[in-house]
Amino acid sequence: MIGYAFMGKAHSNAWRNVASYFDVPAFEQRVIVGRDAEGAASAAAKYGWAESATDWRAVIARDDIQIVDICAPGFLHAEIAIAALAAGKHVLVEKPLANTMAEAEAMAAAARTAQAAGVQSMIGFNYRRIPALALAKELVTEGRLGTIRHVRAAYLQDWLTDPGSPMTWRLNKDTAGSGALGDIASHAIDQVLFLLGDQVTEVSGRTHTFTTHRPGAAGLEEVTVDDAAWATLALASGAVASVEVSRVATGRKNSLKLEIYGDKGSLLFDLEDLNELGFLDATLPVREQGFRRILVNEPEHPYLEAWWPQGHVIGWEHTFTHEIRDFLVAIDGGTAPSPSFEDGLAVQRILAAVEESAAAKSSIILLAGGPSAPANAPTDHTQGA
């Protein structure tokens, strides 16, 4: 595993525990990699890794390494992932896929080539593994909501509300790619695509930075990414999704709210109550309708047969355990894990279109596998690739 900070800790917890609850092929937590030798060694001792290292290239070249889990910042994703795939290693990489479209496309191409040789890859959109959202996906697929008309997705945090909060790599475009957009809108947009099984065809977006400078090592340093972003997404099915994300929403700690409205029913979800799903069945008589609370912790619900007796809730960290479980089972079975780098690339295109739309103050048409263009551009350009 490359990286031992926030995501490294979350992934390590999953690697350490997954075999205790799920039937997965045997594996060893062989080595954790970080730029600081002392920090990496400390992480190895705490998180269950046999050894630590500082040179990821040397580790990837080792014959005893078959899987590479990339938890490093986004600007390192492409170089490490492409090298690991070329070396025949299965790769799991944290979201977003990369910092730029060019990097994301190169990663997807490398994944396609590697898969032809039996080498698998997956992007870590762990919220697909929340049992309540996995259940929501089942209900949508079964047609319980009928035709989906619109979706609301709002991912709100407040850890940057204080303008005195210090500068970090997450606030620099060179290292983070974008702000709330790539960090949390990637999750919200992936949920729209995942739950609906749909494609985005048009994007209208806006981004804003409320605090433009923050204290850093060089004094006040410029913030070069967004604090918040808004987007309206038109979908191929005819549905419309609104997405709102912010890291300055005072009082919201980690709230991903999803509302899905169909002509036969609706679903409600909030990450801060991740064991619950609200479901309204609009096929019932009006006098019997109303949102009912489904407490998603029965053995019949996705993933939960491995955990505790019914009525005992699970937490945020379990999503990574489920993610590692699915990744290992896919590798063992020789099947392509999901979500793929192609899925990550689809999200990346939408993120890029939101930025483009915000800059151009115009809607952006998305062409599958091709370029985007302002909605008011000449027809011969928008139809292209």
Fold of the domain built from segment(s) 6-124: Rossmann fold (3.40.50)
Torsion angle (degrees, nearest 10) of CA 243, 197, 22, 85: -90
Domain boundaries, the chain: 6-124, 147-263
pLDDT by residue, tens only, the chain of 385 residues: 999 999 999 999 999 999 999 999 999 999 999 999 999 999 999 999 999 999 999 999 999 999 999 999 999 999 999 999 999 999 999 999 999 999 999 999 999 999 999 999 999 999 999 999 999 999 999 999 999 999 999 999 999 999 999 999 999 999 999 999 999 999 999 999 999 999 999 999 999 999 999 999 999 999 999 999 999 999 999 999 999 999 999 999 999 999 999 999 999 999 999 999 999 999 999 999 999 999 999 999 999 999 999 999 999 999 999 999 999 999 999 999 999 999 999 999 999 999 999 999 999 999 765 444 555 443 332 222 2
Beta strand 364-366 pairing with 292-295: unpaired
Give the separation between CA 110 and CA 99, rounded to whole angstroms: 16
Q: Both tokens of residue 333?
A: 């079975």
- Indicate the helix (H) or strand (E) that contains 348: helix 341-360
Beta strands in the chain (DSSP E): 31-33, 51-53, 67-70, 90-94, 121-124, 148-156, 200-208, 213-216, 219-222, 228-235, 240-246, 255-262, 265-270, 276-281, 292-295, 364-366, 372-374
DSSP state of 280: E
- First and final CA of the chain: distance in angstroms? 38
Q: Both tokens of residue 65?
A: 């390494």
Q: Are 277 and 296 in contact (CB under 8 A)?
A: yes
pLDDT value for 377: 43
pLDDT value for 36: 97
Q: Which residue has tokens 């491995």?
A: 306
Q: Are 6-124 and 147-263 the same fold in CATH?
A: no
Longest CA–CA span in the chain (Å) reads: 66
The CATH number corresponding to 147-263 among 3.30.360.10, 3.40.50.2300, 3.40.190.10, 3.40.50.300 equals 3.30.360.10
Give the number of C-alpha atoms closer than 13 A to the C-alpha of residue 14, restricted to the C-beta side: 28
